[in-house]
Amino acid sequence: MTTDIEYKKMAVAREALSFIEDGMIIGVGSGSTVRYFIDFLGKMYREGKIRDIVGLPTSFETRRLLLKNGIKLASLWEYPEPDIAIDGADSILMDKNLIIKGLGGALLQEKLMDYAAKKLIIIVDESKMNKEVPVPIEVFPIALEYVILRLKKLGGNPKIREGTGKLWPVISDNGNFIIDLYMRMKELDKNTEVILNSIPGVFENGIFVRKMTILVGIDSKKAEKLEFN
Ligand code: 5RP
């Protein structure tokens, strides 16, 4: 059964199509909302309603879905400045003008893509507004304990991400570990992104700060548009 939240995800995924034009190089994020976007984009492409697009994936899952939909693939090597990136998010912090991503574990490639693109469109359902989530951090495996120590000294509560179907830690698409940093939302700001990335052994963290358009799914038809600068 399709739930209310799935309809809201579909609404924003559909709305995101209005930003896509013929010939565009499109960075494609990861997650369940982006999955709808890829399906809708693939359908438009097969029907000839959009032409000559190239998709730059941010995870193995997205790569597979783009391929399945017949969309031509490339990477940031060929196109270091994509025309647009479409991505999901885990929390939209309205008063801080930032978003948190990476609960799906794809934050490193997503951050690269989302910062490289000329324009960034974030698609979320309304449950993501000001949602309490940890900050995901992708870490070089041998640096794990050192990074944990540094994060504790900063006053945070780091937890190594574990999954199912494999013993102990989740391994990212890039072969790294992921730490989820629990900290008080009110202590988090734009500087936190830089502070976390300055710890040796940290590849990236899930705090995204840049100019972006956020489409928020309110119901199955309506999407509210927010601008972050
Ligand atoms: C993955 C992400 C996703 O964009 C984020 O988790 C949103 O996913 P969903 O659309 O399934 O809620 O950052 O690393």
Mean pLDDT of 197-223: 96
Write down the pLDDT at residue 116.
Answer: 98
Write down the pLDDT at residue 183.
Answer: 95
Write down the pLDDT at residue 126.
Answer: 96
| Digit-coded pLDDT (tens) for 95-104 | 999 999 999 9
Contact between 213 and 119 (Cβ < 8 Å): yes
φ and ψ at 166, to 5 degrees?
Answer: -160, 145
By C-alpha distance, which of 87, 95, 100 is closest to 128?
100
* Cβ(33) – ligand 1 distance below 6 Å: yes
The sheet with strand 91-93 has its strands ordered as 91-93, 98-100, 207-208
Write down the pLDDT at residue 185.
Answer: 85
Domains and CATH numbers, the chain: 4-128+209-220 (3.40.50.1360), 135-205 (3.30.70.260)
More confident residue, 2 or 113: 113
Closest ligand 1 atom to the C-alpha of 103? 6
By C-alpha distance, which of 25, 15, 19, 22 is closest to 83?
25
* Cβ(71) – ligand 1 distance below 6 Å: no
By C-alpha distance, which of 90, 80, 57, 43 is closest to 205?
90
- In whole numbers, what is the pLDDT of the chain averaged over residues? 97
* Cβ(101) – ligand 1 distance below 6 Å: yes
* Cβ(89) – ligand 1 distance below 6 Å: yes
CA 199 – ligand 1 centroid, Å: 24
CA 59 – ligand 1 centroid, Å: 11
Residue tagged active-site, from 15, 61, 110, 204? 110
Q: Tell me the torsion sign for CA atoms 176, 178, 179, 185.
A: positive
Contact between 168 and 140 (Cβ < 8 Å): no
Write down the pLDDT at residue 160.
Answer: 98
Write down the pLDDT at residue 220.
Answer: 86
The one-character DSSP state at 136 is E
Write down the pLDDT at residue 130.
Answer: 97
Q: How far is CA 62 from CA 7, 36, 81, 86, in A?
A: 21, 11, 19, 12
pTM score of the predicted model: 0.97
* Cβ(102) – ligand 1 distance below 6 Å: yes
Closest ligand 1 atom to the C-alpha of 123? 10
> Quick check: 157 pLDDT over 90?
yes
pLDDT band at 124 (very low <50, low <70, confident <90, very high): very high
Catalytic status, residue 110: yes
Number of other CB atoms surrounding residue 202 within 10 Å: 21
Which residue CA neighbors atom 8 of ligand 1 most closely? 31
Closest ligand 1 atom to the C-alpha of 136? 14
| Digit-coded pLDDT (tens) for 37-79 | 999 999 999 999 999 999 999 999 999 999 999 999 999 999 9
Write down the pLDDT at residue 186.
Answer: 86
Write down the pLDDT at residue 222.
Answer: 83
